[in-house]
């Protein structure tokens, strides 16, 4: 599609979606009324800047179904995002939404060169996380044979990759490296396997990681980006040129804004990525602030696709960490620490990557009064560590190693990154 045709399509779809949410989601209607806006003010895609932003807090404040636009009887799937304190973000999909998602995912896979002749392992987690089922539907649509391996059980998975002649895999880039390492340990060599294409995402990764994965697994590694609030995996994808990821912009309209002034930035400049869903029925969102920092690239790609490209994610405008593919906010750790009277509100998250697997260590100070009277034996300390560890696991959905510290031993400093030491090189 030419740029003019795409803009015209986006403008038409924007007017339609704004009309739809105005009539079906009181949250948006009230916001627009407060800004003296009606759907008739939104006619071209340029009019989008008149619309209000949506944040993760808005989704949480309207938990669980407050932003849902379709009646419950039309919803056929519900996912929930990881990684917020308290309520997760609930996303409901209609049958049409699942169809659009599946088609976008099939676009990604086709762009990577996946065909019906492939045997494709989906090793994102199946469940509330959108990675597993999202990728799965796309593989089926392309017509390749899907192996729903999910995560875990890596040795069995490695054996299946060899024995079934699996040719494609979708997983987090760090899991790909862990898999490579497991295979090496099991004595499975590159010439015994047929992997040729990988769809990697759900966490930030670098060109160096790409080279390492390609070298160790003998495949071509492509970027896959997405987020549950917008759809799941398939919001954007790399092509054979591997120079930026094409956005499915007929469904997800991207903008880059300055996260402080909220002004729209011109293409090429790095800022916060914002998406508006142009066709979604279940839970459409207007100008959703992803907090992901990147830039947009204009111009035709050597692959021939005209869809706008986004750069790799260069960071976040909030303090969210992605550990083993799970979104983790330091505030979640804080809420657990503060819920236990034994601890002072002094904690530190230490994130590392050991043998290609992310690790999280949580250091926390015991309060003086407990330290001297109650937890003064190794057995008592051990028990308290276990208690905190179990609570953290239930809130974060990932295991964390706990290290209890004596009062006043964790360094104090100002600023939000003071709670995190990220030793991973990503
Ligand atoms: O991670 C959806 C997904 C699944 C994408 C499988 C790709 C593959 P959430 O759990 O909602 O959804 O997390 C979304 O993860 O805002 C980014 O910060 C980060 N992220 C996702 N893909 C990439 C990527 C899924 N390719 C959040 N590169 C997003 C860098 C990524 N960060």
Q: In the 8-state DSSP scheme, what is residue 143?
A: T
Query: Is the minimum distance from the CB of 173 to ligand 1 under 6 angstroms?
Result: no
Q: What is the residue with the minimal CA distance to atom 14 of ligand 1? A: 227
Which alpha helices (DSSP H) does 26-167 contain, by range? 26-34, 56-61, 95-112, 130-142, 154-164
Burial of 269 (0-12, 13-18, 19+ CB in 10 A): exposed
Average confidence (pLDDT) per 10 residues, the chain, 426 residues: 96 98 98 98 98 96 97 98 77 98 98 98 95 98 98 95 98 93 96 98 91 96 98 98 98 97 95 98 98 93 97 91 89 89 91 91 93 82 94 92 92 64 85
Q: Pairing relation of β-strands 343-354 and 420-422?
A: parallel
Q: Is the CB of 290 under 6 A from ligand 1?
A: yes
Report how far ligand 1's centroid is from the alpha carbon of 316 (Å).
Answer: 12
Q: Does 407 contact ligand 1 (Cβ within 6 A)?
A: no
How far is ligand 1, taken at its centre, from the CA of residue 322, in Å?
A: 9
310 lines ligand 1 (CB under 6 A): no
| Mutation pick for ligand 1 pocket among 82, 88, 135, 201 (CB with most ligand atoms within 8 Å) | 201
**Is the Cβ–Cβ distance between 144 and 115 less than 8 Å?**
yes
The reported pTM is 0.91
pLDDT at 84: 60
Which residue pairs from 27-31 have beta carbons closer than 8 angstroms and sit at least 24 positions apart in sequence? 27/58, 27/62, 27/66, 27/67, 28/52, 28/286
Distance, CA 188 to ligand 1 centroid (Å)?
A: 30
CA–centroid distance, 299 to ligand 1, in Å, is: 25
Place of tokens 């109650």: 374
Q: How far is the CA of 319 from the centre of ligand 1 (A)?
A: 15
CB 140 within 8 A of CB 119: no
Q: Is 204 in the pocket of ligand 1 (CB under 6 A)?
A: yes
- Rounded Cα distance between 360 and 114, Å, is 35
Tell which one of 105, 136, 202 to mutate to probe ligand 1, the residue whose CB is within 8 A of the most ligand atoms: 202
- Dist. CA 89–CA 68, nearest whole Å: 12
Query: In terms of Cα–Cα distance, which of 291, 288, 290, 286 is closest to 30?
Result: 286
Question: Cβ neighbours of residue 94 under 8 Å, at least 6 residues apart?
Answer: 70, 74, 75, 76, 281, 282
Strand-pair category, 168-171 with 197-201 = parallel
Q: How far apart are CA 166 and CA 99, in angstroms?
A: 26
- Residue 416's pLDDT is what? 40
Atom 9 of ligand 1: nearest residue by CA position:
227
3-state secondary structure of 239: coil
> What is the predicted pLDDT for the residue at 133?
98
Q: How far is the CA of 237 from the centre of ligand 1 (A)?
A: 12
- Whole-angstrom distance, CA of residue 112 vs CA of residue 60: 35
CA of 288 to the centre of ligand 1 (A): 15
261 Cα–ligand 1 center, Å: 25
Cα-based distances in Å from 152 to 1, 104, 333:
42, 27, 24
What is the spatial order of strands in the sheet that 245-247 belongs to?
145-147, 119-122, 168-171, 197-201, 220-227, 232-238, 245-247, 309-310, 296-297
Q: Which ranges of 250-301 would DSSP assign to H, the alpha helix?
A: none
């Amino acid at each position: 599609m030419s740029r003019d045709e795409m803009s015209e399509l986006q403008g038409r779809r924007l007017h339609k979606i704004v009309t739809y949410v105005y009539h079906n989601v009181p949250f948006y209607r009230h916001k627009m009324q407060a800004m003296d806006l009606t759907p008739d003010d939104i006619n071209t895609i340029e009019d989008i800047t008149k619309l209000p932003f949506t944040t993760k807090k808005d989704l949480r404040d309207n938990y669980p179904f407050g932003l849902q636009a379709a009646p419950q009887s039309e919803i056929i799937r519900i996912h929930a995002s990881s990684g917020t304190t308290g309520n997760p973000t609930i996303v409901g999909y209609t049958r049409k939404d699942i169809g659009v998602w599946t088609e976008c995912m099939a676009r990604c896979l086709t762009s990577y060169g996946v065909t019906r002749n492939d045997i494709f392992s989906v090793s994102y987690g199946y469940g509330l996380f959108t990675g597993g089922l999202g990728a799965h539907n796309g593989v089926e649509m392309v017509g390749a044979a899907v192996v729903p391996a999910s995560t875990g059980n890596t040795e069995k998975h490695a054996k299946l990759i060899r024995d079934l002649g699996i040719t494609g895999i979708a997983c987090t880039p760090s899991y790909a490296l862990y898999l490579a390492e497991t295979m090496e340990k099991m004595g499975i060599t590159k010439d015994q396997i047929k992997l040729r294409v990988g769809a990697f995402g759900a966490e930030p990764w670098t060109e160096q990681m790409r080279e390492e994965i390609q070298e160790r697994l003998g495949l071509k590694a492509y970027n896959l980006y997405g987020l549950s609030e917008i759809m799941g995996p398939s919001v954007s994808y790399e092509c054979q040129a591997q120079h930026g990821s094409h956005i499915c912009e007929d469904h997800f309209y991207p903008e880059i804004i300055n996260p402080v002034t909220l002004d729209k930035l011109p293409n090429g400049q790095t800022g916060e990525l914002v998406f508006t869903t142009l066709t979604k029925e279940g839970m459409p969102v207007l100008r959703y602030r992803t907090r992901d920092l990147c830039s947009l690239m204009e111009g035709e790609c050597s692959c021939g696709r005209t869809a706008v490209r986004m750069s790799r994610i260069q960071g976040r405008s909030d303090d969210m960490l992605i550990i083993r593919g799970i979104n983790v906010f330091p505030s979640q750790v804080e809420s657990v620490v503060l819920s236990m009277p034994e601890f002072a509100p002094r904690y530190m998250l230490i994130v590392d990557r050991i043998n290609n697997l992310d690790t999280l260590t949580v250091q926390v100070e015991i309060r003086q009064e407990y330290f001297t009277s109650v937890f003064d034996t190794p057995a008592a300390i051990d028990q308290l560590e276990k208690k905190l560890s179990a609570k953290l696991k239930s809130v974060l959905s990932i295991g964390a190693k706990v290290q209890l510290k004596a009062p006043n031993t964790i360094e104090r400093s100002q600023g939000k990154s003071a709670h995190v030491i990220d030793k991973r090189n990503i």
